[in-house]
Amino acid sequence: MRRSKTAWVAVVLAGTALGTATAAADAAPVTDARSTVRNTAHTTACPTGWGSRDKTRVAGTTTPVEDVRTGRHACFDRMVVDVPGAKAGRLGYFVRYVDRLHQDGSGRPITVGGGAVLEVRVAAPAYRPATGAATYPGRVGRPLPDVDLTGYRTFRDTRFAGSFEGETQIGLGVRSRLPFRVLALDGRVVVDVAHSWSATR
């Protein structure tokens, strides 16, 4: 069943401090999600303090989603939802661990592989609001197009859950319940999931 707007607001109020910290991190530079990090002999210091609790940012845009891509990094795996032309301040999201992914509107359960499932909602449609024409070729219940997770340390599966009432919903299967962060930047929303709970790799 679709989450009510009242529930959305309650989540936001409960996580105000967390949202503020996430917004401050939004200015951090982000590398291309398609870049691959090679193993090195030295130890890499990894970010800490992300946690695994729900992360929310209230905003919205009618600018549509056009692509979803992933990349491997030294400390985390990354998923990027591309919303070309949207300003960071207009990009909202709601990302959380769920026991099972359910499609918005229909309530249909969608199976996502992995030891844990992140539900990723971006407050942008995957269609043109004026015409209803799809802007992203994802099919409900199927893996994300052109996303290959071979060799990833954290990501295990992706599933498109559709776009309903201006929100695009994705299921991201990960190895286990691990820390994650979400960044809203110009033209994209970034979800990074750590390889481990430790500060080094």
pLDDT of 80 reads 98
d(CA 195, CA 201): 8
Inform me whether the pLDDT recorded for 45 exceeds 50.
yes
Q: How much of the chain exceeds pLDDT 90, in percent?
A: 72
pLDDT of 67 reads 98
DSSP codes joined into one string, 29-53: ----TT--PPP-SSPPB------SS
Mean pLDDT of 34-39: 45
pLDDT digits (tens, 9 = 90+) for 79-88: 999 999 999 9
The CB density around residue 90, as the number of other CB atoms within 10 Å, is 17
pLDDT digits (tens, 9 = 90+) for 151-166: 999 999 999 999 999 9
pLDDT of 48 reads 80
- Helices 16-25 + 5-14 axis angle, to 10: 80
* Cα-based torsion angle of the residue sequence 107, 113, 117, 123 in order, rounded to the nearest 10 degrees: -60
Q: Output the average pLDDT for the chain.
A: 84
Beta partners for 77? 72, 193
Q: How much of the chain exceeds pLDDT 70, in percent?
A: 77
pLDDT of 139 reads 96
Q: Go through the domains of the chain in sequence order and give each one's CATH number.
A: 5-29+53-194 (2.60.40.3500)
Q: What is the DSSP secondary structure assignment for residue 150, as one 8-state letter? A: T
DSSP codes joined into one string, 171-191: EEEESSS--EEEEEETTEEEE
**Token reading at 196:** 């481990």
Reported pTM: 0.79
Mean pLDDT of 11-38: 41
Residue 68 · residue 79 · CB < 8 Å: yes
Place 177 in a pLDDT band, splitting at 50, 70 and 90.
very high
Mean pLDDT of 18-38: 41
Q: How many residues does the chain have?
A: 201
d(CA 70, CA 192): 10
pLDDT digits (tens, 9 = 90+) for 69-124: 999 999 999 999 999 999 999 999 999 999 999 998 889 999 999 999 999 999 99
Beta partners for 189? 81, 184
